Structure 1
């Protein structure tokens, strides 16, 4: 069953974040993932959720998504994201 990582982020330091943008696609692909939505400015349709940017990644399974997040080689990049953005991340399984 496919799984989705949904990232809501505001970029606080684009120069620092640039390295993450350039290098993280390799790790996404390594774990069978792909971009569904890549850093777009969403249009709010209901409610008070107002993310600045949204990224949605699709993985073949919840396990693949968790392996991506736990990849020791990618940790320095996640650290860059944590330091250069304000972000929220959720994992959701899709329908079979």
Structure 2
């Protein structure tokens, strides 16, 4: 197994996964990603519940929705779910919109949402809806 430069996932953990599961986690390194050949990597999922309030500005949020997709995709994000067709199973959690985005790495996710492009539109979302997000690591 070739490792090369500094990775976010340590070599020992990759070797452990290789022995225990038959595959290794896929490390990443900086803007130019270097991967272990044949390895299975862990993806990062960005999950958002959006609560659209009556006093929010729907036009502003719609503008955000239109502009955010190409930014996310330019950083390797892939929309798996982006819908307002939501069935709520709890009275305590009733989002009107749910979004699930898969990123190839935590670094890609962080770079996307800290980018100048995203920062330029972020306040459109902040000022128009209540969005609650979590980041989850998992298999692709």
Q: What TM-score, normalized to structure 1? A: 0.87
Please, which of 36, 51, 57 is the counterpart of residue 13 of structure 1?
Answer: 57
Q: TM-score when scaled to structure 2?
A: 0.62
Q: Which has the larger radius of gyration?
A: 2
Instruction: Say which structure is richer in strand.
Output: 1
Q: 1-side partners of 2:63 and 2:124: how far apart?
A: 8
Q: Does 1:60 align with 2:104?
A: yes
Number of residue pairs matched by the alignment? 96
Which of structures 1 and 2 has the larger relative contact order (alpha carbons within 8 angstroms, sep 6+)?
Answer: 1
User: Which residue of structure 1 lines up, in the alignment, with residue 35 of structure 2?
Assistant: none
- Report the Cα offset of residue 47 of structure 1: 6.9
Shift of 1:57: 0.7
Determine the C-alpha separation between the residues in 1 that align with 2:116 and 2:101: 19
| Residue among 59, 84, 97 paired with 1:40 | 84
Structure 2 gaps, min length 5: 1-41
Q: Which has the higher helix share?
A: 1
